[in-house]
Amino acid sequence: MQIVNHCLSAAQFLPSPNFDARPDPADISLLVIHCISLPPGEFGGDYIDRLFLNQLDASQHPSFKDLAGLKVSAHLLIRREGELKQYVAFDRRAWHAGASCFQGRGRCNDFSIGIELEGDITQPYTNAQYQALAAASLALIRQYPAITPERITGHSDIAPQRKTDPGPLFDWPRYLRLIRNDLK
């Protein structure tokens, strides 16, 4: 997997309007792992794409009511079968972390890349997702060397009062082992 012009070559690119310039484009130094499912607990379909592209019809499902008018994005989405979608180029600031803090530094969107896993905190992630996440993470680490395994975190770790993702079923040891084995 390679990164060309701040985009992952293996990902389908669907440009989200929900991004802006980073305060320092050279400061890409954190990777944040999230999870998302729309409707909650359901997988497949194009609702996540629609959310990140500002095309989600809030009347299509009762759980979408709170998403009406919300402007959010992530850099990448990894579907259950390992398919990769990219919404924002890595040198741009995606709107994924919200109010957040990592090692005393706030505004994590300024210096982070956000990866969403299609899932929720109550179900295990798939083998295909771990493989795709590890491959994408390695490409990011090689392209942006300030991202190290120690600078990969969950949304729950940078916004613990608000967020619980990627959740207790995300296998951090497995994921980090996949990365570290390839970095040797």
Distance CA 34, CA 73 (A): 11
Q: Which of 42, 81, 83, 116 is catalytic?
A: 116
Q: How many Cα atoms within 13 Å fall on the side-chain side of residue 128?
A: 10
Q: In sequence order, what DSSP letters do the residues of 99-144 get, joined into one string?
A: S-EETTEE-GGGTEEEEEEE--TTSPPPHHHHHHHHHHHHHHHHHS
| Residue 114 CB contacts under 8 Å (≥ 6 apart), including other chains | 32, 34, 73, 74, 75, 76, 94, 96, 97
116 counts as catalytic: yes
Active site residues: 116
